[in-house]
Amino acid sequence: MTSCKLAGPGVLTGTVHPPGDKSISHRALMISALAEGESSYSRFLEAADCLHTMTALQALGVDIKNTPGTGLVTVRGVGMNGLKAPEKELYLGNSGTSMRLLLGVLAGQRFECQLTGDESLSTRPMRRVTQPLKQMGAQIKGSDQANYAPLTIRGGKLKGISFDNHLASAQVKSAILFAGMYADGKTRVVEPVTSRDHTERFLEAAGVDILREAGWVEIGRVDRLTALGGAIPGDISSAAFFIAGAAVIVGSELTVKDVCLNPTRTGLLNVLRRMGAHITTEITQEAPEPMGNIYVVGRRLKGTRIAKEEVPSLIDELPILMTAMAAAEGESLITGADELRVKETDRIHSMSQNLNAIGGCVEELPDGCLIRGVSEFRPGKVDSFGDHRTAMSMAIASRLIKGELEITGTACIGTSYPRFFKDFEDLQK
């Protein structure tokens, strides 16, 4: 239970190169593992969650080379049917993305495999993925009707389905699309709001014909994936802490370099601009993933509302947005975000508790929160609740405090952003 003490106030000024995108790093490994040939990537995210995906694929017989500290990774794909039964269970730590997406891959394999995780991951709901995969023909066992890990899956002959992804979850969609590559007939995922589309972009780049229309995506059986490679864009969900912090702290001037600007991931920027933030972007790469730079100048922001239809494009950024809203002028309201309650922790609760502990005014709602902005925070002590995004959000809050903030349980930051505190220190003026 590592803790840290941070002293404020201060601005966030300078340039940050965020780590490789976590969502894309997971998918790069999985899709390359099923491809034919060798795929090489730079800026791979060497954080705990992505490393769990790597070791799981290695246990399934995939040759993956990674030189620690370089961000370079090479995957020698085994083809669509080349995975082998692991000698023991696949331990995935605290990575929900690893577990949910690998379930989709394993649904098409002809062997049995058990997936396990740490205490936190074992409490996170998995039926949202296991239910449609069982409809397709996979056999999955686990507690509470395969809702919680450990989960045992035996793949087999699959059939395509049409699934209503009412949660607008990219993890659910991706698992079904992965299974759909092995299914007879067409597999369609219908969404009320389009979730992040990294899986679709990667599969298309690997030669897969995918039909995409407003409200749905469809895939058929796939016989072959071609090898890929390139630089993985910076993670906007990691950069979000500095972006939102710089936007709300008067006097800050921030440049974020080579970050993912996929439209399904930039909801954070839309909300901050609506709050009055001075943010500009520059696209430097269009495909396969839009990438570029973000420029932020700090100013006092005003409250806003976030409704359900916006949540899929900024679900991971809501904790730091809550921090910005707590320091903005007026009221802010977040609704339709009940998915926050089943992340690494209940993020509605953890952020409300922590912000109120330092003088914020946050009222919990079943699916969100009501926030009344305050002019400044006060010194105090808060807890990460074992959640990396809660911990990093509170670290940014320390820049708005005249005094010291202690955060307990900060080791969890290593799951997504191991060098967060180094970058944080470099931006302090």
The pLDDT score that the predictor gives to residue 350 is: 98
Q: What is the CA radius of gyration of the chain?
A: 21
- Distance CA(49)–CA(121), nearest Å, equals 11
Per-residue pLDDT tens for 21-44? Answer: 999 999 999 999 999 999 999 999
Predicted confidence band of residue 183 (pLDDT cuts 50, 70, 90): very high
Q: Is 316 a catalytic residue?
A: yes
Flag whether pLDDT at 146 surpasses 90: no
- Distance CA(76)–CA(120), nearest Å, equals 32
Question: What secondary structure does DSSP assign to 345-398, as a single string?
Answer: S-HHHHHHHHHHHTT-EEEEETTEEEEE--S-B--EEEE-TT-HHHHHHHHHHG
What values do phi and psi take at 104, rounded to 5?
A: -65, -40
Task: Write out the two tokens for 362.
Answer: 């946050």
Report if pTM > 0.85.
Answer: yes
**Interval 104-120 mean pLDDT:** 96
| CA pseudo-torsion sign 319, 289, 23, 396 | negative
Question: What secondary structure does DSSP assign to 70-114, as a single string?
Answer: TTEEEEEEE-TT-----SS-EE-TT-HHHHHHHHHHHTTSSSEEE
Per-residue pLDDT tens for 385-420? Answer: 999 999 999 999 999 999 999 999 999 999 999 999
Catalytic residue among 197, 235, 316, 387: 316
- CATH fold of 3-19+233-426 reads UDP-n-acetylglucosamine1-carboxyvinyl-transferase; Chain (3.65.10)
Per-residue pLDDT tens for 331-372? Answer: 999 999 999 999 999 999 999 999 999 999 999 999 999 999
**Interval 286-303 mean pLDDT:** 94
Q: Does domain 22-220 have CATH number 3.65.10.10?
A: yes
The pLDDT score that the predictor gives to residue 356 is: 98
- Distance CA(215)–CA(192), nearest Å, equals 6
Residue span(s) of the chain under CATH 3.65.10.10 come to 3-19+233-426, 22-220
For the chain, the average pLDDT equals 96
- Indicate the residue type of 409: G
The pLDDT score that the predictor gives to residue 1 is: 60
Contact present, 97 and 171 (Cβ < 8 Å): yes
- Distance CA(238)–CA(223), nearest Å, equals 35
